[in-house]
Amino acid sequence: MISVAVVDAETPGNVGTIARAMKNFGLSELYLVDPPELDPEGEAYGYAGHAREDVLPNAREVEFDYLVENFHTVGTTAVTNEDARKHVRYPFTTPAELADSLREAEADTCLVFGREDIGLTNEEMARLDEVCSVPASAEYPTMNLGQAATVVMYELRDLTLDETQHPDAIDRASEAEIEGLYDQFDAVLEAVNHPEEKRAKTGRLFRRLVGRAHPTDREARTLRGVFRRAANFASPPGEESQR
Amino acid sequence: MISVAVVDAETPGNVGTIARAMKNFGLSELYLVDPPELDPEGEAYGYAGHAREDVLPNAREVEFDYLVENFHTVGTTAVTNEDARKHVRYPFTTPAELADSLREAEADTCLVFGREDIGLTNEEMARLDEVCSVPASAEYPTMNLGQAATVVMYELRDLTLDETQHPDAIDRASEAEIEGLYDQFDAVLEAVNHPEEKRAKTGRLFRRLVGRAHPTDREARTLRGVFRRAANFASPPGEESQR
């Protein structure tokens, strides 16, 4: 189980934004340390989308100690230490590495996010178990709180989501259907009198283009139908097209 | 070059949020179709962080046609079509797949984001070249505009960032240093009279724990020093510790 904690946020909107991303990525347990007031008519609920129905009203206000005592805690920070001489923010993992390591260990984990302006203090960070940092521009790595939290939860989605909104796999056309499309393209080349010495090369060009795109069944069949009509129209009168 | 376009956004705050994420992930060209008014004293600039200095004031207002004519366009949507019978939003790529495909093709690409409530219309989507969708909860896949854009740009960071804020690699301790730590732990076991028949097994346990954690040079040396002192303290008086 992966939970989320927000420490000392100033703006209710950010709490709402984080609650929404939690619901988008299948998390539900939200802990708030020193939160701003969350007025059901205010920004937190306004920004929370459907999370206003469950994640946000079910959020629990707790002390920082509660997080330390009950979870494997992961503190997030934009700015890490540079090397091992300072270990408050070093070593750290990236969100993708965190996903890999949590996949192996089934820990009750809490992702801890800090204030809008300064994030988590060194004192807070020192008490947390792991450090996580989103790789961003060297020039401007400091992300907005809600956006940073969204990226971390996005990367952990395989651990928290049973099912996404996406269909399981693109229904790529069968090889037979795609080969039929290539054959029909060759028939067009013949019907339009494409120079005979160039036909094989042009056929390969078409094969490469379509091959890269992995057409769906529908795409392959529709295009094959269009080419069949094109070959028929182009055939000299009285002569049967190939298919 | 990867650009970003926001079509018909209602709230200036979302434009600012997107501008900030652009700067966080190394993008700079922002196009706005039918934007809300962006008051330099208002929410767009307030949410943009340092992007208020460049990305936002340099944003260009254009027509939708301009995007279609000048870019390889990628439309983003939370909700895809289910299969190839409808192809306005199908097939689609995920942000990670998009990163892979753009890595291979150096296209002038524009990521196109739609309205807060309904995203891009079917008419708009039909004119764009590719469809991209963030995998999220089947129960609630609709992300906030600024958060969805942040996730897409985060996934493309390898293509847009020369350098992140992170040091190149964690400076893992040398094998010699780590082996020295294991030896020192064994010396502690001996000094504290850990049952002789259990020493090898306990040494292996320690080796496995530390091995998984890939200690830094500083961590290995510090811990080795602590164990050296522990072994010295534990050694019977008059007897020399092993190191």
Kindly determine whether residue A140 and residue B49, on different chains, have CB atoms separated by under 8 Å: yes
Residue B239 inside a domain? The answer is: no
Would you state the pLDDT for residue B238? 56
Amino acid A80: pLDDT: 83
**Residues B185 and B87 placed together within one structural domain of the fold:** no
Task: Tell me if B167 and A80 make a contact (CB, 8 A cut-off).
Answer: yes
**In this structure, are A152 and A203 located in the same domain?**
no
Give contacts of B24 with chain A, Cβ < 8 Å: 136-137, 140-143, 147
Name the residue in chain B with its Cα closest to that of A23.
B140
- Select from A17, A139, A218 the Cβ nearest to the Cβ of B85: A218
Q: How deeply is B136 buried, as exposed, middle or buried, from its count of CB atoms within 10 A (0-12, 13-18, 19+)?
A: buried
Residue B222 pLDDT: 93
CB contact under 8 A, A24 and B141: yes
How would you class B169 by CB atoms within 10 Å of its CB: exposed for 0-12, middle for 13-18, buried for 19 or more? exposed
Residue A167 covered by a domain: no
Give the integer Cα–Cα distance in Å for A29 and B4. Answer: 34
Whether B165 is covered by a domain: the verdict is no
* Domain shared by A84 and A188, yes or no: no
- Whether B110 and B226 map to the same domain: the answer is no
Tokens, residue B149: 């854009």
What pLDDT was estimated at residue B236?
59
Minimum-distance CB partner of A84 among B17, B92, B218:
B218
User: Do B131 and B207 lie in a common domain?
Assistant: no
In this structure, the answer to whether residues B92 and B182 fall within a common structural domain is: no
pLDDT at residue A81, rounded to an integer: 79
Quote the percentage of chain B above a pLDDT of 70.
97
At a CB cut-off of 8 Å and minimum separation 6, what does B209 contact? none
Instruction: Return the DSSP state at A164.
Output: B
| pLDDT tens by residue, A14-54 | 999 999 999 999 999 999 999 999 999 999 999 999 999 99
Please compute the mean of the pLDDT values over residues A175-185 and round it to a whole number. Answer: 94
| 3-state secondary structure string across A68-91 | HHHCEEEEECCCCCCCCCCCCCCC
pLDDT digits (tens, 9 = 90+) for B5-26: 999 999 999 999 999 999 999 9
With pLDDT > 70 as the criterion, what percentage of chain A qualifies? 97
Residue pair A12/A56 in contact (Cβ under 8 Å)? The answer is no
Q: Which of A76, A79, A103, A144 to mutate to test the interface with B (most CBs of B within 10 A)?
A: A144
Q: Is the pLDDT of residue B243 over 50?
A: no
- A23 with A119, same domain: the answer is yes
pLDDT at B59: 97
Query: Could you tell me the CATH number of the domain that includes residue A115?
Result: 3.40.1280.10
B166 assigned to some structural domain:
no
Please tell me whether residues B133 and B202 are part of one structural domain.
no
Q: Which domain covers residue B207, as residue numbers?
A: 175-234
A186 part of a folded domain: yes
Mean local confidence (pLDDT), A154-171? 90
Q: pLDDT class for A237, splitting at 50, 70, 90?
A: low
Asked if residue B99 and residue B156 are part of one domain, the reply reads yes
Q: Which residues in chain A have their CB less than 8 angstroms from residue B82's CB? A: 167
The pLDDT tens digits for B158-185 are 999 999 999 877 778 999 999 999 999 9
Interchain proximity B165–A87, CB inside 8 Å: no
Minimum distance, in Å, between the CA of residue A189 and any CA atom of chain B: 27
- Confidence class of residue A241 from pLDDT cuts 50, 70 and 90? very low
For residues A107 and A18, membership in a common domain is answered with: yes
pLDDT digits (tens, 9 = 90+) for B222-239: 999 999 999 988 875 555
Distances (CA, A) of B101 to B95, B105, B160: 10, 7, 14
Higher pLDDT, B212 or B66: B66
A208 located within any domain = yes
Extract the tokens encoding B3. Answer: 């650009």
Residue A48 shares a structural domain with residue A88 = yes
The ipTM is: 0.84
**Which one of A104, A131, A160 terminates a domain?**
A160
- Alpha-carbon torsion A45, A50, A56, A58, what sign? positive
CB contact under 8 A, B17 and A144: yes
Residues A13 and A124 in one domain: yes
Which positions in chain A touch B47 (Cβ < 8 Å)? 144
pTM for this entry = 0.87
Section B195-201 average pLDDT: 94
Domain count, chain A: 2
A90 in any annotated domain = yes
**Lookup: tokens for A3:** 């939970």
Q: How far is CA B211 from CA A52, A89, B54, B179, B205, in A?
A: 44, 21, 46, 10, 10
Asked if residue A30 belongs to a domain, the reply is yes
